[in-house]
Copies of this chain bind each other. A is one copy, B any other.
Amino acid sequence: MSNEPKNAFYAQSGGVTAVINASACGLIETARKHSDKIANVYAGRNGIIGALTEDLIDTNKESAENIAALKHTPGGAFGSCRHKLKSLEDNEEEYKRLIEVFKAHNIGYFFYNGGGDSQDTAHKVSQIGEKMGFPITCVGVPKTVDNDLPITDNCPGFGSVAKYVATSIREASFDVASMAKTSTKVFVMEVMGRHAGWIAAAGGLATEKEGDAPHIILFPEITFDEAAFLAKVDASVKNYGYCSIVVSEGVQNADGKFLAEAGGVDSFGHAQLGGVAPVIAELVKSKLGYKYHWAVADYLQRSARHIASKSDVEQAYALGVKAVEYAIDGHNAVMPTVERISDDPYEWKIGMANLADVANVEKMMPENYISEDGMHITEECRTYLQPLIQGEDYPPFKNGLPDYVELVNAPVEKKLNTEFKI
């Protein structure tokens, strides 16, 4: 690579989180400090689609204040997308187009901020230097509330969901406990995690002593056992006056069907719309007669920047910083990772993984993280999870509400006059 500074391309990919913008903040702030190496950061509008359609955002047009405010703003400030590049062999056109756009805009760095699929994409793009003769430095930036990337100790975004879920089930359970004598006895909260129970497990952090809510956690890893579940609900109501339940959206029955889809049909003839929480709640009511309430947190859980984990925010930011440092140090096809040094006190540092080792590997929850009855977490799990929710990092408030930034997102002038069909 010549000594002339190149531009960098940065994109957010897949489901967004409360802290993906903190990574963008760390990345852009660090790039600005190294303007001798990186002239400008162009962000893809709506992720990789922005690169394919030459729809680039000029981050140099954003004030330092705006970029700094990304650290406390949820969602994806440049837009994200769900678009997975096929392999070079299967869709060479897309890669040719990327090179065309990168060449036109003098882009020498590719930063891709996302989960498993996105790291796979970053890995594929890193191959175009060798396979298609276009030298580009590719660095992945980890992000996923699913916490399923390998090598890294945890994934930015997860710690904040974990803190939200544990806080919310604790708070709602204080409510239910108050009402249980004459009213609601069972509360069900549905959380994300179709394939892995990391988020559901985080709810277990609210249980600090015997009798604390949640009393039951239903994991996607554990086949739903109706009889055992109902027996535990009943015992909880009898022992503690109420029963508080965290259920993963991915819980399945013995036939391998999602419980959420095992219900009836709605007025449009479609499968039951209500998610898994109402199915579980109604089962309890029909079999045990207990009055219930249920909640589905959905996007609230992954966007709740107001209750973000401080360690999560700091790691997201540090990973953005390190991505740039790795790139200008000449590392290619890598991803910065979180390395845990100690559990208590919690210490961590940023490490490095090869994208080849990250792509297409899904980290599942270890078996010994789920208690023997399959309905709560173990001490090992608690030891792993506890540091990830440490610390509060409140956003500034204005008019009683979090003051989140909306960027200018000024377009970079197009240099190509060609359309590209996604």
Chain A residues close to B by CB (< 8 Å): 12, 15-16, 18, 46-47, 49, 73-77, 79-83, 163, 166-168, 170-172, 174-183, 187, 189, 205-206, 208, 262-270, 272-275, 277-279, 281-282, 286, 293-300, 302-307, 309, 386, 389-392, 394, 397, 399-402, 404
Contacts and interface: CB of A to CB of B under 8 A. Distances in A.
A293 B303 contact: no
Nearest to A388: B400
Contacts of A80: 178-179
Contacts of A181: 46, 49, 79, 81
Contact of A266 (B73, B174, B282, B299): B282
23 contacts: A16-B178, A49-B181, A74-B174, A75-B171, A76-B175, A80-B179, A167-B401, A167-B402, A170-B401, A170-B404, A171-B404, A172-B299, A172-B300, A187-B299, A189-B300, A263-B267, A266-B272, A267-B279, A268-B282, A268-B286, A272-B273, A309-B400, A389-B401
Contact of A265 (B73, B183, B264, B275): B264
B171 A304 contact: yes
Contact of A282 (B15, B273, B304, B307): B273
Nearest to A15: B179
A176 B391 contact: no
Contacts of A163: 400-401
Contact of A278 (B189, B275, B299): B275
Contacts of A275: 274, 278
A276 B254 CA distance: 30
A379 to B, nearest CB: 14
A293 B299 contact: yes
Contacts of A300: 168, 171-172, 189, 295, 297, 300
B268 A273 contact: no
Contacts of A294: 296, 298
Contacts of A46: 181-182
A401 B205 contact: yes
